[in-house]
């Protein structure tokens, strides 16, 4: 099968309704460019007139020269008791100047009579009048049939009447929406198939994830004849989120043979997903299908032994097809296969028969028993392997460090860190301030290294996490510190463990800076 399926991304509209998400206009422009570069066909930019930010976005996006995507404005059918040409919302939509307009309308009779409190006939008029107005302005019109699957199950005759009203008025696409997100895939496939027999316009699908079946529902709709899918990057959206396009796109293209993106663009999917999560200021979901950091990660020794011989044994696709990569994790559950694989990727010569192999594996298991967690601290693991194999020369030697808190009445807490290190036999003593002990220590250490290693100025801390490993021990409990660092090109994780949070942070911080400079 090679039928094309068009994608509408609603990250900027439906996705932004997710809890904890709010994009600036600048953010929305950046995301639009990323989606356009990826090859997305339609980008829903928001609801014109609903807030100043939306209006500013539509004003600015006109100035951008997009390569692939058509921008869509979103709104509702006109209000009851008035003509579409006199509806203020629709005037805002026309003023946005987008080539595409997505209009949602009621298809569930209960919503018409109980929510809008109008007659079923009047609702059909609203749909007809709205679509005709937009078509008279030469817009490509998508009719989003709100709550369609619930509507069809309750009153299939009226649900179909609503679709036919939009179709007869000239709608270019009828989008069947599972607005409550509770319709199961088999129901969706059956209903889409039934609708396809009664309508002539192309069908689209819009699913929500309240039953954890949004992606499966969208794929079922395509199987039944839908040629257009709506969703969001990373599944962002209200309540449990929208259908995740990062899962739908590769599933359609790699599993069912539909044409969605070029192979080159599909290979940029992981990077795009992570970039947008950065803009959203939300951590990427490591367990996300296809694009997650752990999507092709292997921990069990049996699995690693198998994928070394043939990746297909435990990988459903080649990760490179979506821009991801295979990872092998080292932990207390690891076997020799894991360690040999990791060593090979680092350019280290280890064999199964080498006594160092067993020694290293035993050391890793001992450290993990003490609280280390190398799955999130792979840079610390790399340094550990090189140290044990005599392949690592420390860039500096710690003499001492000291941290002091200072607070003056009415002012924010200030922390001062003093660091003494030896660099190439020369003792360096520096002092730096920060808004916390790790911040101050990091600044002092970078300051001490800057003359010999100027590249240290490009290394910064991007995330810092502390976990108490044994809550029953109270203030004597061990803590594990995970530090995520970055430079101009990459990110990496390091780990430190101690009963003292400052000492644990120092170990993770030293590994972070050494790794960054060595790379």
Q: Which of 401, 391, 437 is nearest to 422 (CA)?
A: 401
Tokens of 119: 């007659």
C-alpha to C-alpha distance for 24 and 194, rounded to whole angstroms? 42
Which domains occur in the chain, in start order? 6-261 (3.20.20.70), 297-382 (no CATH), 396-452 (3.30.160.270)
CA distances 371 to 242, 341, 463, Å, are: 37, 23, 19
C-alpha to C-alpha distance for 306 and 341, rounded to whole angstroms? 11
| pLDDT in the model for residue 392 | 82
Question: Tens-digit pLDDT profile for the chain (519 aa)?
Answer: 567 999 999 999 999 999 989 999 999 999 999 999 999 999 999 999 999 999 999 999 999 999 999 999 999 999 998 999 999 999 999 999 999 999 999 999 999 999 899 999 999 999 999 999 999 999 999 999 999 999 999 999 999 999 999 999 999 999 999 999 999 999 999 999 999 999 999 999 999 999 999 999 999 999 999 999 999 999 999 999 999 999 999 999 999 999 999 999 999 999 999 989 988 988 789 899 999 988 988 876 677 678 777 888 888 999 999 999 887 766 555 567 777 877 887 778 888 888 888 888 888 888 878 888 787 788 898 898 888 888 888 888 889 988 887 655 556 677 888 999 898 888 999 998 887 888 889 889 999 898 888 888 889 888 888 888 765 555 567 888 989 888 888 888 899 999 888 999 999 999 999 999 887
CA distances 144 to 148, 264, 375, 484, Å, are: 9, 31, 44, 42
Phi then psi dihedrals of residue 416, to 5 deg: -115, 130
Please report the sign of the dihedral spanned by the C-alpha atoms of residue 150, residue 151, residue 156, residue 162.
negative
Residue whose tokens read 């299908």: 289
Neighbours of 269 (CB within 10 A): 25
CA distances 400 to 73, 83, 100, 404, 482, Å, are: 60, 78, 64, 14, 22
Chain-centre distance for alpha carbon 443: 31
The 10s digit of each residue's pLDDT in 56-97 is 999 999 999 999 999 999 999 999 989 999 999 999 999 999
C-alpha to C-alpha distance for 393 and 452, rounded to whole angstroms? 15
| pLDDT in the model for residue 334 | 58
Q: What is the rounded (10 degree) CA torsion for 38, 39, 41, 46?
A: 20
293-299 contacts, C-beta under 8 A, 24 or more apart: 293/327, 294/327, 295/319, 295/324, 296/324, 296/325, 296/326, 296/327, 297/326, 297/327, 297/328, 297/329, 298/326, 298/327, 298/328, 298/329, 298/338, 299/328, 299/329, 299/331, 299/333, 299/334, 299/338, 299/375
Contact between 345 and 381 under an 8 Å Cβ cutoff? The reply is: no
Contact between 29 and 46 under an 8 Å Cβ cutoff? The reply is: no
DSSP 312: G
| pLDDT in the model for residue 193 | 98
C-alpha to C-alpha distance for 81 and 104, rounded to whole angstroms? 18
Pairing of strands 426-434, 414-423: antiparallel
| pLDDT in the model for residue 411 | 65
Name the strand (E) or helix (H) holding 206: strand 203-207
Name the strand (E) or helix (H) holding 297: strand 297-298
C-alpha to C-alpha distance for 424 and 489, rounded to whole angstroms? 27
| pLDDT in the model for residue 228 | 98
SS (H, E, C) 58-96: HHHHCCCCCCCCEEEEEEECCCCCCCHHHCHHHHHHHHH
C-alpha to C-alpha distance for 226 and 65, rounded to whole angstroms? 29
- From start to end of 362-511, where are the E strands? 397-406, 414-423, 426-434, 460-468, 479-486, 491-498
Tokens of 340: 């040999």
Number of residues in the chain: 519
| pLDDT in the model for residue 331 | 59
Residue whose tokens read 């295979």: 326
**Helical spans, DSSP H, in 371-468:** 378-388, 437-449
């Amino acid at each position: 099968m090679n039928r094309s399926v068009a994608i509408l991304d609603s990250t900027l509209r439906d996705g932004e309704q997710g809890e904890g998400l709010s994009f600036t206009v600048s953010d929305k422009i950046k995301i639009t460019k990323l989606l356009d570069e990826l090859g997305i066909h339609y980008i829903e930019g928001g609801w014109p007139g609903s807030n100043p930010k939306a209006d500013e976005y539509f004003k600015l996006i006109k100035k951008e020269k997009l390569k692939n995507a058509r921008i869509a404005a979103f709104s509702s059918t006109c209000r009851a008791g008035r003509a579409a040409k006199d509806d203020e919302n629709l005037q805002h939509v026309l003023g946005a100047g987008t080539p595409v307009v997505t209009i949602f309308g009621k298809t569930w009779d209960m919503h018409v009579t109980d929510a809008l409190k109008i007659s079923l006939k009047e609702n059909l008029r609203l749909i007809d009048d709205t679509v005709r107005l937009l078509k008279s302005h030469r817009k490509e019109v998508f009719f989003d049939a709100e709550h369609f699957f619930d509507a069809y199950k309750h009153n299939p005759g009226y649900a179909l009447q609503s679709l036919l009203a939009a179709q007869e008025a000239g709608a270019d696409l009828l989008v069947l929406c599972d607005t409550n997100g509770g319709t199961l895939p088999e129901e969706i496939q059956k209903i889409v198939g039934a609708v396809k027999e009664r309508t002539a316009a192309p069908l689209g699908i819009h699913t929500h994830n309240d039953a954890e079946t949004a992606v499966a529902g969208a794929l079922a709709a395509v199987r039944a004849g839908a040629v257009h899918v709506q969703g969001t990057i990373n599944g962002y959206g209200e309540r449990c989120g929208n259908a995740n396009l990062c899962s739908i796109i590769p599933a359609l293209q790699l599993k069912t043979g539909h044409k969605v993106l070029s192979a080159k663009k599909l290979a940029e999917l992981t990077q795009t997903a992570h970039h947008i999560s950065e803009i959203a200021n939300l951590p990427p979901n490591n367990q996300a299908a296809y694009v997650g950091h752990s999507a092709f990660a292997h921990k069990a020794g049996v699995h690693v032994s198998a994928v070394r011989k043939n990746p297909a044994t435990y990988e459903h696709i080649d990760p490179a097809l979506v821009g991801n990569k295979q990872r092998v994790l080292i932990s207390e559950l690891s076997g020799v296969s894991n360690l040999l694989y990791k060593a090979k990727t680092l350019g280290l010569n280890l064999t199964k028969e080498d006594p160092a192999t067993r020694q290293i594996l035993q050391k890793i298991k001992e450290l993990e028993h003490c609280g280390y967690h190398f799955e999130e601290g792979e840079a610390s693991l790399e340094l550990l392997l090189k140290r044990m194999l005599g392949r690592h020369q420390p860039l500096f030697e710690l003499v001492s460090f000291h941290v002091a808190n200072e607070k003056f009445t009415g002012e924010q807490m200030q922390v001062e860190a003093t660091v003494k290190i030896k660099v190439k036999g020369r003792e360096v003593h520096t002092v730096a301030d920060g808004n916390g002990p790790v911040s101050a220590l990091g600044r002092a250490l970078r300051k001490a290294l800057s003359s010999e290693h100027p590249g240290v100025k490009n290394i910064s801390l991007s995330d810092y996490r502390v976990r108490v490993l044994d809550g029953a021990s109270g203030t004597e409990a061990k803590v594990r510190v995970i530090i995520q660092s970055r430079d101009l090109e990459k990110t990496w994780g390091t780990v430190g463990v101690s009963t003292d949070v400052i000492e644990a942070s120092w170990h993770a911080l030293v590994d972070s800076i050494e790794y960054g400079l060595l790379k």
